């Protein structure tokens, strides 16, 4: 087996069971490992530490599979990991009661680079690392075998694959192509999901519990939902008896599907309307026009994929939250999110605090929000806690 040797002192993170080894931590590569091939990891003193998947292109040069020297990286290894991941979800909620759920959450489930979501009878997978790419066929067969489902679709078309030196890939893996739209029910609301063309694997499953919170807060309020996409928070607001909902979304296709979602739930279309365009520009225009709302929801796309982009992202978050505060009436609520891995929860709170100060409002955090329970976070991998949200009340 090829191997890598770490620089002195760089074994600390491995001993703490962090699954990533960056290129700068390597002193030597022994042998000529192929991308995705399993390599042994040694300290500078020659002590065996772990084994993981090698990537020649990524800054994350090795993603660790196991810290057990006796554990072989075989098809059986991956099948057992998937079984454990599915069992974890089933131990919290009867999976038969859910139309949509995340079954595998990458590093936090011991499967670096693998995402698997289920939408009714269709599995959707993302292969985001060379290690997962190398074992793709084995993983596909294991997913079908363990879940008992027949249809597996792939959505490996996200930016992180380019950082690995992998080309984007989408399409049917096993079974039959999914329907154009899959109808799922969540907390009493029906959503139409496009798993072939929609964001991520088709829907933002990580916001499930946060949509429920929005529904609980929406009664009697005028709601502004920014970056509305297909209407997840907008429909939750209507379901919670919001007085009105105004949605801002840049995509024609997303707005069209959002309107279908309203019709699928037989909601009052007179209480909701959409504006297509750039949220930053439209919020500034609303501010200048003196428009106000009782609740503003900010769920923008990722501003910082890496720590190197943090400064630019911070400016974007500061700007959008400042505008959000400016558009709130006294007694209003700002529900604001960041899904940028390069922005920590502490930094995000400081950014929002700075925006409130510049807006001249007295603001208090009444609740912190995160991804839902089926997107667990390994204690040894804090980067898994990527979704950060705040419910902020202004006087």
Give the Cα separation of 205 and 152 in Å (integer). Answer: 18
b/e 285-316 (16+ beta carbons within 10 angstroms → b) = ebbeeeebbbbbbbbbeebbeeeebbeebbeb
What's the pLDDT score for residue 374? 97
What's the pLDDT score for residue 306? 65
Q: Which pTM was predicted?
A: 0.94
Residue 265, CA distances (Å) to 95, 96, 160, 219, 226 in order: 23, 22, 35, 18, 21
Give the Cα separation of 17 and 63 in Å (integer). Answer: 11
pLDDT tens figures, 250-306: 999 999 999 999 999 989 889 999 999 999 999 999 999 999 999 999 999 888 666
Give the Cα separation of 115 and 105 in Å (integer). Answer: 5
User: Please, are residues 21 and 4 in contact by the beta-carbon 8 Å criterion?
Assistant: yes
Give the Cα separation of 98 and 40 in Å (integer). Answer: 40
What's the pLDDT score for residue 305? 64
Give the Cα separation of 198 and 29 in Å (integer). Answer: 40
218 alpha-carbon distance from chain centroid: 24
Place of tokens 């009782």: 294
What's the pLDDT score for residue 182? 98
pLDDT tens figures, 336-374: 999 988 888 999 999 999 999 999 999 999 999 999 999
CATH class of the region 3-66? mainly beta
What's the pLDDT score for residue 288? 96
Residue 346, CA distances (Å) to 30, 357, 370 in order: 40, 17, 13
Give the Cα separation of 208 and 86 in Å (integer). Answer: 18
User: Please, are residues 135 and 126 in contact by the beta-carbon 8 Å criterion?
Assistant: no
User: Please, are residues 49 and 15 in contact by the beta-carbon 8 Å criterion?
Assistant: yes
Which percentage of the chain shows pLDDT scores above 70? Answer: 99
Mean pLDDT split into 10-residue runs, the chain, 395 residues: 96 97 97 97 98 96 97 98 97 93 98 98 98 98 98 95 94 97 96 96 97 98 97 97 97 96 92 96 97 97 75 90 98 96 91 97 98 96 95 97
Domain 75-174 classified CATH 3.30.750.80? Answer: yes
The correct CATH number of 204-394 out of 3.40.50.150, 3.40.50.10950, 3.30.70.100, 2.60.40.10 is 3.40.50.150
Place of tokens 């700075």: 354
Annotated active-site positions, please?
339
Residue-range domain boundaries for the chain? 3-66, 75-174, 204-394
**Is 3-66's fold the same as 75-174's?**
no
């Amino acid at each position: 087996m090829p191997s890598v040797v770490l620089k002195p002192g760089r074994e600390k993170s491995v001993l703490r069971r962090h699954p990533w080894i960056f290129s700068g931590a390597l002193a030597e590569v022994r042998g000529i490992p192929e991308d995705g091939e399993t390599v042994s990891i040694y300290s500078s003193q020659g002590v065996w530490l772990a084994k993981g998947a090698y990537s020649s292109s990524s800054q994350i040069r090795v993603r660790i599979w196991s810290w057990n020297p006796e554990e072989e990286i075989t098809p059986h290894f991956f099948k057992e990991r998937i079984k454990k991941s599915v069992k974890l979800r089933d131990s919290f909620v009867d999976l038969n009661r859910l139309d949509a759920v995340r079954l595998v959450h990458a590093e936090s489930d011991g499967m670096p680079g693998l995402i698997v979501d289920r939408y009714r009878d269709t599995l959707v997978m993302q292969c985001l690392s060379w290690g997962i790419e190398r074992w793709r066929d084995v993983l596909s067969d294991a997913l079908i075998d363990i879940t008992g489902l027949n249809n597996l679709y792939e959505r490996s078309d996200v930016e992180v694959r380019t950082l690995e030196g992998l080309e984007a890939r989408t399409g049917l893996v096993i079974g039959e192509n999914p329907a154009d739209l899959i109808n799922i029910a969540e907390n009493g609301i029906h959503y139409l999901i496009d798993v072939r063309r929609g964001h991520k694997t088709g829907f933002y499953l990580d916001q499930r519990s946060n949509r429920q919170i929005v529904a609980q807060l929406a009664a009697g309020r005028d709601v502004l939902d920014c970056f509305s996409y297909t209407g997840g928070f907008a429909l939750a607001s209507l379901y919670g008896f919001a007085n009105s909902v105004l949605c801002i979304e840049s995509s024609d296709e997303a707005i069209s599907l959002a309107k279908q979602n309203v019709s699928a739930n037989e909601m009052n279309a007179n209480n909701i309307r959409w504006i297509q365009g750039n949220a930053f520009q439209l919020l500034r225009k609303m501010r200048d026009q003196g428009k106000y709302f009782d609740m503003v929801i900010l769920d923008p796309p990722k501003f910082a994929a890496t720590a190197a982009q943090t400064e630019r992202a911070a400016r974007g978050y500061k700007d959008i939250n400042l505008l959000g505060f400016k558009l709130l009436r006294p007694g209003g609520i700002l529900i604001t999110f960041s899904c940028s891995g390069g922005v920590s929860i502490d930094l995000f709170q400081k950014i929002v605090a700075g925006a409130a100060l510049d807006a001249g409002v007295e603001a208090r955090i009444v609740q912190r929000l995160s991804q839902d329970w089926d997107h667990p976070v390994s204690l040894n991998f804090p980067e898994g806690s990527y979704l950060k949200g705040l419910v902020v009340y202004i006087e």
